[in-house]
Amino acid sequence: MLRLAAGLVALAAAANPAAPQAAANAASSVATLARVPSDVPLFPLENLKPGMKGVGRTVFANQKLESFEVEIIGALENSAPRQTMVMARLTGGPLANTGVIAGMSGSPVYIDGKLLGAVAFGFGFSKEAIAGITPYVEMTGFSRMNDIMLRASAAPESDVLRPIPLRMSGLPMPVDGATLISKFVGALETAGTNARSSMGVAGLSPLPIPLSMSGLSGAAFDAARGLFSKMGFSPLQVPAKGVAPGPLPPLEPGGPVAVSLIQGDFDFSAVGTVTHIDKDAVYAFGHPFFGIGPIDFPMRRAWVYDVFPSLNQSFKIASAHDTIGRFQQDRATGISGKLGAGPRMIPVKVSLQNRPGMKQDYSFSVVQDDLFTPLTVYASVLSVLQGQERVAGPSTVTLDATVNFSSIPALRLQDQFADGQPGAMAAGLVGSAISFVMNNEFRRVSLESVTVNLTAKEAQETAAIDRAWLERDGPVRPGAVVPMKVALRTFRGEEVIVPIPVEVPLGTAPGRYVVFVSDGAALSQAEQREMRQAFIPKNLDQIVRAVNSIRKSTQIYVRLQRFEEGAAISGTLLPGLPPSMMQVLGASEGGEPVVRTATTVVWDGAVAVDYSVKGSRFLALQIER
């Protein structure tokens, strides 16, 4: 197979006279990044027998490439459809004390100098280093699609089919922030469970992937670890990028390689082992990174410091360094990519003001992916807050974020959180909003940048709606403005009076009306009960509008309404309609769904305050001609 690839390159060069020079330039560039082995034959699986001896290659510590012994136990045919898993016993180096090590994923195994495959699977709590080996021929089964899939997946607006793991269905209408965040966090857990449960066979499971994290405080690391552990990774804190004890050698089979999710002030990189390098193509892991399919993630050299032995699962301690290419495929039998330039990353800036005159700025970039973009933004914002602010006790977090896309309007997320876990809620709103848009059902979108401004205070700035009253007796006429006051009771018992004028529109029919004074969450819940509809967008613009219309906790909402049959179309409440119009709407076929409501709204208003408000009140108002 390797010789066939070389033959195809030669035929292409003959067809294009300029190809030899281009190939020479590419080869020179690759030579500085990787140590490409000579033509290595493959070991035929049909010749494999129990008891055969082989040798594997990996780095256990300090970038020293070492060999370990391999004894074949047998082969499990059709361990997955048309896939074979080779069972083997590994010995040598530290393996007698550590068992199969997380981070060895991809370590090449040779029999009689011929490449068999990659160490990729293991048993938990095993007394011996028993491993599952993925045949190399199966790791390259998808390689012929690499260039085609890369071009398709790199074009955000394309219609290439990809699994979308964060489908947040069942949102009510109108969309509210708390439900959106809850759906997002639940979808993350489901995605991680589904991905891990679909791997492994006969008690063997893919070796955990060490996820090296740098730039985090202890509290921030604990927060990020909780997220990524559920995704099947083994997070660990490592020195920051650029602290390698020695020079980094070129990439080579058996050497470490990293897949990055975040680069910059924060660095999250998964570390495994290179199985083989074929010209500029790199194959690694022998099992999925996450099973996403086509990807465009940075390929980086890594430094292995040492192995941490554990009765549960030993793992390599490593850090990622310079970018030397891009991984393009994440499939059931491994990951693969190309040496050269790295992929486009999404710039993220986070600013935290936690005390007067004390502002901290963070700058980093994240990968473009339907799953990992919202996850990494969520994790990084949460890490900023958890690392710098108190985790327990009264606190308030104010959020002002802008999410820019290439071809649709920006998301503007503004709110204040003071109950429960304010930091997690602020981070969750940013992550869930990005996920909601990127995982839409209409077309791929390209995220351009994310800017998050946070203000944190060590005080609970909440207030309850204690009472409300109209400062006018008797009925009013259409066109009047009725003064109203709302009394708020703060967390420490202080009373704050907020004046709010209530407008009665011209043309309002006479009758008895209700002034509904409410916080944003209670108003959204009241509308959800009225509409009795799930949010089913007809286009991408509706999703953007729904996110940008999420009500804020720092506003008091006022609604003038009467108990009279009304209607709502696609989440928009319509004022009192004549019976003839109601009949027309009810009889229409197709188009937007129409829901009959028990109330008719004639006026809406809102006033901003300095507190996260809770509560609601109803006031009676008589309108006459």
d(CA 603, CA 558): 8
Give me the pLDDT at residue 9, please. Answer: 35
Q: Which amino acid is at 615?
A: G
Residue 492 burial (CB < 10 Å; 0-12/13-18/19+)? exposed
Give the SS3 label for residue 543: helix
Are the CB atoms for 382 and 375 separated by under 8 Å?
A: no
Are the CB atoms for 393 and 458 separated by under 8 Å?
A: yes
Count of CB atoms within 10 A of residue 525's CB?
18
Residues 6+ apart with CB under 8 A from 102: 207, 208, 209, 210, 234, 313, 314, 315, 316
Helix 422-438 with 540-548: angle, nearest 10 deg: 160
Give me the pLDDT at residue 49, please. Answer: 94
Residues 6+ apart with CB under 8 A from 44: none
Give me the pLDDT at residue 10, please. Answer: 37
Torsion of CA 506, 511, 512, 516, to 10 degrees: -30
Are the CB atoms for 201 and 282 separated by under 8 Å?
A: no
Are the CB atoms for 258 and 271 separated by under 8 Å?
A: yes
Residues 6+ apart with CB under 8 A from 505: 478, 479, 602, 603
Are the CB atoms for 530 and 391 separated by under 8 Å?
A: no
Averaged over successive runs of 10 residues, the pLDDT of the chain (625 residues) comes to: 36 42 50 75 93 96 94 81 84 93 95 95 83 92 47 40 57 89 84 54 78 84 82 80 72 95 93 94 93 92 90 87 94 93 96 84 94 92 79 82 95 92 93 93 92 92 95 91 96 94 93 95 90 84 94 96 71 57 52 67 94 96 91
80: number of CA atoms within 13 Å, CB side?
A: 17
Count of CB atoms within 10 A of residue 534's CB?
11
Helix 372-388 with 177-197: angle, nearest 10 deg: 110
Give me the pLDDT at residue 606, please. Answer: 96
Are the CB atoms for 325 and 341 separated by under 8 Å?
A: yes
Give me the pLDDT at residue 619, please. Answer: 95
pTM: 0.84
Give me the pLDDT at residue 260, please. Answer: 95
Are the CB atoms for 230 and 192 separated by under 8 Å?
A: yes
Give the pairing type, strands 462-470 and 612-614: parallel
DSSP per residue, 145-162:
GHHHHHHHHH-TTS----
d(CA 206, CA 284): 13
